Structure 1
């Protein structure tokens, strides 16, 4: 298990700068993919440890109707799964469950009721909008604002989210509700980083959860509960329905398919209008067709809306205008201030929202400053036919105008951006087919993407970049400079998200256009060629990466000069690629040249110089020149401690690298204390299950094993494997490595009964994931063969034939 070497900081160059860290004493990984490390100042870390939550603290939203009926079996099962199987809700044992079902089925209502009923069993209950990774970050950041407002008001979104994660790690016994999860994989990092509480997720999708959390499917309400809900909403809790009314309610509930959202909206209409149950059923007309698999939620909601919208429009026409605009925004956390231009007077805005609330079309946040609209309601509204003369559906242009008016200045990083971002992205995603976004909206998308770049959240900008590129291609043409920049930015966003399959074709097209339009040595062409080479390298395609890096370096030297920072980065990148290909004879001289020129141009302790020195040391170590490697590692570590601080992630990497060099030189006595120190600091700085922490734990276990201390080695290997399975997944390369390492340690301890099944599992998974002839697969096959021979020898009372077990562990790491 290794950390990946650095490329000298010259990866994909999109618009804006990706920030890795802010000065301080501790860092916490916070992005959905675990890639972002944010440094927090010492006082913020201290507050994360010392600040307690008020009793019963939480941010639970309000229920649209405030009525909850039925679902008692589901509630009991949910409590059993979370609490009983986890021993107790406030213990160190974590529980994770996901509720899934079709839209309008009541998933969020069930989760909300569970949270209300059991909130006193938790130290904190926090509701997280989980429709996207950026919204998860925003919801976590709001926790810091609640618990530590004096510090949160002075810092950015990423730092606040990092603080929240650190607080949750220090204060166990909480409940996090991830509502409306679109991609189950978005939760993997958070579940691994936060093991000391309960996680409850709701999602419309039933797939993708097998490696993340057990699921509980939620069905329609049963007939009795549906009748009770309708009668309660229509008649009031203080009025018991007559037998006739219950009979009418039963018929209506059946026609609405026992869908909770439809029942609630029908009940709200009955209550507001005073219409009788039987009369309302007649108004709805004949029973509509249903989908082949049962109820069609969208058609059910659309069916009851004609009457509800008519009633609302008679009561307050402006309310319908607001609702149509909200259909195109994000469903949650719509600020009242964003809607204000449609109702300039606070009184008229309040009256219009009140009419929508009365008919159960919207829900309020606890402070009534934010509005939520059910996703199914939005879907139905968006699919109504266009009424405007220009072909726009109702509310679409209003939504765009609201976004444009609310957009902050591009160069400012303000909380207004975070509040607006989900709604900008929602409008971008719902751009009408074959209709280009307006120039004004493209300017908004570009400004929002720039804000995310400044925040270091490139991967979150994909949907915005996609909308900008589509507009540029359609309006400006395929090779316009703005189109080239937009295509590069989208490719970079895909690459930041780990989606190389989409990034590489975009980079290839862009390079071809740059060479054609700008020329072979234009600075933008050099950047484009570097980005494509970097993507090839990331995908392991060194045969295509190396020639591109070679051509680009030659052009950089010719156009920019021998010591230009971009030339230095190009030389470092080429050296690393040679090293990756096993060509140390070409890698080492390039690293030596790069280091000498970095020292000359940038200074002896510039971060890029330190990276060059570290990379050269790694190459020396690979060439078994341990004396020179150790000397460079020691120098780099001392300088990083001085320049970056003792617990900066790069300092920790240097400490780990020096420990491995000592170990490679046979000096386990010096290696083990360094590994122990690094592990302790990574646990403190990055968290217990951060990938680099897992690497440190593996490396220390390997050193213990080398020193003959198998008892401590096995314990660490077992812990590391469990956490890798939890955080990275069952077939991640690091998980497979950890499984092999533990098997090897069992075998070394003579425990073949435990070693062989692990070897068998690892081999089967490597064959599936890596292929039959991959070196790691061959290693696993060799290890299993040797272990089987050993157990046969034991059974036959003879000595096993000596055989070398090639172990794929490579504990060394670089930047």
Structure 2
């Protein structure tokens, strides 16, 4: 039975993560959980009120025919089922179906019901974090002006924790996994999610598919646009019904067709329908929605070509940038006269081709897709020129760590540079933009947003391979950087071949012991370890450590990191004797170099304590954990997350040593403190609840243990879904508690469901699947042994 070890561990490498009993680790660029605010900043998050009416909503849209969906949102978001986890509505559907319109309209209707409504771009973890940082800047502008991004994000999350009654709209979520950290920790308010994804959501959400409009509502939307609210004649209504059917009752297409009719009042609905029917489908290879939008766009384009030719150039330029918050200043190079540009933007807005504010332009993603298929337009060249000119005018941030302070000018332009790089056609040469791709990638790296650099680094690598060759040092660095970007984005299978290629070429060009070769070897070893290939990881870590000791010396920081990396790999592979020896050496060197209470020394001491415990030397493990706890309480305070982690470590060691009285007392106090500091459903709190349940079970309090295991399983299911690894582990824990209590029928039922799900998710031969199969067999054997013989 897997018994979660409540531990605190530290990885020594610069691109490492170590975990004891954190349960769910947020790796890569999402480091919010590791950012500790000052006492003043925490007090500010607690004490700062939201001014009445605080929101960042756009204009209230026209929303027709969605009464049932609006009523459903209201029911879900006002339901009080007594659960620890508030239900989260997820509205899903294809592009152009009106998900954003529905959510925005609902948010406007309920503005008086919430202390704050905040619209969040959830397209990626980085964009989501940017929206949270903007919330901190709105509520605490003076403090936020001098705070790093992750500090602002942490401040915003703390503010949300302290101030119930808010509504966050997470718009355009691409991957449910991106939201798991927030679904679990954001309580006290409400979340509303829009997405194209129908599946993969945890049980804490309630999904609703958004379909096309009903025929009557679709016709009403067209008439409302085209006739400016005047009642339609029977003929107009008949034509509107026919046109709506031609457009598949797709809200975006209806909106744009209606906008065209509103701007060309001499054209009847029927005449527009006949014009539309004769237009060439410009997106024949796209989806049905794209083909429909292409037909409407072709007709609108014809009108704009005559009325506002500059608008055509603007539109095609916008197609190659990020869809949201495009600075109007980026478009000024298209025409020297600001009045002409303003007129072109006004024309596009009037035709519902864009959403316009005084400073920014936004365009629908589906419309961008359609525009990019149109041949013969220099829109990409215009976008590239605009961004190159804009970046040329900026002052480059300092190229060193620690991370520079947020730069609003850079932050406003980088999403559009990323979009330009991501949309690079095959064989296209972005020579003018290449240096800005490099500068922006380095800026994002210093801000710890490496996952956002993938498109930039791919374009950079292609350029360097083409101009410098595959083995040039700059090319090798670019390949290594791209591998790391994939790694922090969670795509280890893409990262490993890039690391392998880079290492092979550096060995060939630079030699075995060149610093860059050693760096590549360390990166590849860590990637192997992360992928579970411990045999190859250990071999590479051993080679790297030996070479660094030879070249740099025994106490060089890089050597210390290599020693820690190798010790961690030994421990992961079950070689506790060698792991302990290396951790002891590393701790002695940290103490000599940094002192007894330096954070690096405390982390090293924690690594050694955990290694002792894993090796079965509980006496020495407990002594070290007690020392670490006293030092962290003195240096960091009683409620610091690291202090709580150490307290959990010590409680677990007490339990393993059979000192249940002290173990239970410490587990109970740690759980209470984590509930207070982190909330009831934070992953660390869930781990503390599991630890306490195991302690109760060991002490013979099966009723108390089962109650805690049941609560924890319910919360895992609600937060992460039925098949998430932590949920499956939690289900296994409860099954084992039932088995210990002699309730074999409930234990077997849980073991069977866990086994089926692990077979489906992990495969037949995964170690966790084998564990489930073994425990199911044991429970069945015990049950059968108790049954009376016939």
* TM-score, length of structure 2 as denominator length: 0.90
**Equivalent residues of 1:100, 1:206 under 8 A apart:** yes
- For the residue of structure 2 that corresponds to 1:796, the secondary structure is coil
- For the residue of structure 2 that corresponds to 1:569, the secondary structure is helix
**Equivalent residues of 1:131, 1:180 under 8 A apart:** yes
Residue 244 of structure 1 is matched in structure 2 by 235
Is 1:427 matched up with 2:424? no
**Equivalent residues of 1:462, 1:493 under 8 A apart:** yes
Q: CA deviation at 1:287?
A: 7.2
Superposition map of 1:530-609 within 5 A: 530-609=522-601
Instruction: Report how many aligned residue pairs link the two structures.
Output: 774
**Equivalent residues of 1:32, 1:190 under 8 A apart:** no
Superposition map of 1:123-522 within 5 A: 123-209=115-201, 213-237=205-229, 239-277=230-268, 278-286=270-278, 296-342=288-334, 347-364=339-356, 368-388=358-378, 393=380, 395-401=382-388, 403-405=390-392, 408-411=395-398, 412-413=404-405, 414-438=407-431, 440-522=432-514
Cα distance in 2 for partners of 1:608, 1:551 equals 24
Q: Which runs of 5+ in 1 are unaligned?
A: 21-27, 799-815
Q: CA deviation at 1:491?
A: 1.5
Is 1:58 matched up with 2:61? no
Q: CA deviation at 1:98?
A: 2.1
Cα distance in 2 for partners of 1:545, 1:4 equals 23
Residue 72 of structure 1 is matched in structure 2 by 67
Cα distance in 2 for partners of 1:458, 1:762 equals 36
Q: CA deviation at 1:753?
A: 3.9
313 and 402 in structure 1: CA distance in 2 versus 1, 3 angstrom threshold = farther
313 and 645 in structure 1: CA distance in 2 versus 1, 3 angstrom threshold = farther
726 and 11 in structure 1: CA distance in 2 versus 1, 3 angstrom threshold = farther
Q: CA deviation at 1:111?
A: 1.7
Is 1:528 matched up with 2:523? no
714-723 or 516-525, which deviates more: 714-723
Q: CA deviation at 1:792?
A: 4.2
462 and 700 in structure 1: CA distance in 2 versus 1, 3 angstrom threshold = farther
Cα distance in 2 for partners of 1:82, 1:219 equals 21
Q: CA deviation at 1:620?
A: 1.8
Q: CA deviation at 1:310?
A: 4.2
Cα distance in 2 for partners of 1:424, 1:695 equals 41
Residue 43 of structure 1 is matched in structure 2 by 40
**Equivalent residues of 2:89, 2:191 under 8 A apart:** yes
Question: Which residue of 10, 18, 37 corresponds with 2:13?
Answer: 10
How big is each residue's C-alpha offset from its partner over 1:673-695, in whole Å with a ceiling of 9 and x where there is no partner? 32233333434444443333322
Cα distance in 2 for partners of 1:718, 1:426 equals 46
* TM-score, length of structure 1 as denominator length: 0.88
Cα distance in 2 for partners of 1:748, 1:62 equals 59
**Equivalent residues of 1:92, 1:172 under 8 A apart:** no
- For the residue of structure 1 that corresponds to 2:198, the secondary structure is coil
How big is each residue's C-alpha offset from its partner over 1:230-269, in whole Å with a ceiling of 9 and x where there is no partner? 22111211x2222222233233323333222222222222
How big is each residue's C-alpha offset from its partner over 1:201-251, in whole Å with a ceiling of 9 and x where there is no partner? 2223434346673432222222222222222111211x2222222233233
How big is each residue's C-alpha offset from its partner over 1:580-615, in whole Å with a ceiling of 9 and x where there is no partner? 222222222222222222222333333222222221
470-479 or 131-140, which deviates more: 470-479
590 and 306 in structure 1: CA distance in 2 versus 1, 3 angstrom threshold = closer
Superposition map of 1:546-695 within 5 A: 546-695=538-687
570 and 83 in structure 1: CA distance in 2 versus 1, 3 angstrom threshold = same
How big is each residue's C-alpha offset from its partner over 1:258-292, in whole Å with a ceiling of 9 and x where there is no partner? 22222222222222232322333343343767999
- For the residue of structure 2 that corresponds to 1:45, the secondary structure is helix
Q: CA deviation at 1:520?
A: 0.3
**Equivalent residues of 1:83, 1:95 under 8 A apart:** no
**Equivalent residues of 2:594, 2:601 under 8 A apart:** yes
**Equivalent residues of 1:324, 1:394 under 8 A apart:** no
**Equivalent residues of 1:32, 1:189 under 8 A apart:** no
Question: Which residue of 741, 746, 749 corresponds with 1:754?
Answer: 746
Q: CA deviation at 1:563?
A: 1.3
Question: Which residue of 89, 98, 106 corresponds with 1:97?
Answer: 89
Q: Which runs of 5+ in 2 are unaligned?
A: 20-24, 399-403
Superposition map of 1:768-807 within 5 A: 768-772=760-764, 775-792=767-784, 795-796=787-788
345 and 606 in structure 1: CA distance in 2 versus 1, 3 angstrom threshold = farther
Superposition map of 1:102-113 within 5 A: 102-113=94-105
Cα distance in 1 for partners of 2:686, 2:36 equals 20
**Equivalent residues of 2:316, 2:377 under 8 A apart:** no
305 and 292 in structure 1: CA distance in 2 versus 1, 3 angstrom threshold = closer
Q: CA deviation at 1:769?
A: 4.3
**Equivalent residues of 2:321, 2:383 under 8 A apart:** no
Residue 22 of structure 2 is matched in structure 1 by none
- For the residue of structure 1 that corresponds to 2:205, the secondary structure is coil
Cα distance in 1 for partners of 2:265, 2:149 equals 47
356 and 771 in structure 1: CA distance in 2 versus 1, 3 angstrom threshold = closer
RMSD (Å), alpha carbons: 3.1
**Equivalent residues of 2:384, 2:420 under 8 A apart:** no
- For the residue of structure 2 that corresponds to 1:215, the secondary structure is strand
Cα distance in 1 for partners of 2:319, 2:710 equals 50
**Equivalent residues of 1:697, 1:720 under 8 A apart:** yes
Q: CA deviation at 1:528?
A: 0.7
Cα distance in 1 for partners of 2:213, 2:605 equals 65
510 and 645 in structure 1: CA distance in 2 versus 1, 3 angstrom threshold = farther
Cα distance in 2 for partners of 1:343, 1:180 equals 33
Superposition map of 1:689-708 within 5 A: 689-708=681-700
Q: CA deviation at 1:313?
A: 4.4
Cα distance in 2 for partners of 1:271, 1:748 equals 73
Q: CA deviation at 1:406?
A: 6.1
247 and 583 in structure 1: CA distance in 2 versus 1, 3 angstrom threshold = closer
- For the residue of structure 2 that corresponds to 1:216, the secondary structure is strand
**Equivalent residues of 1:752, 1:787 under 8 A apart:** yes
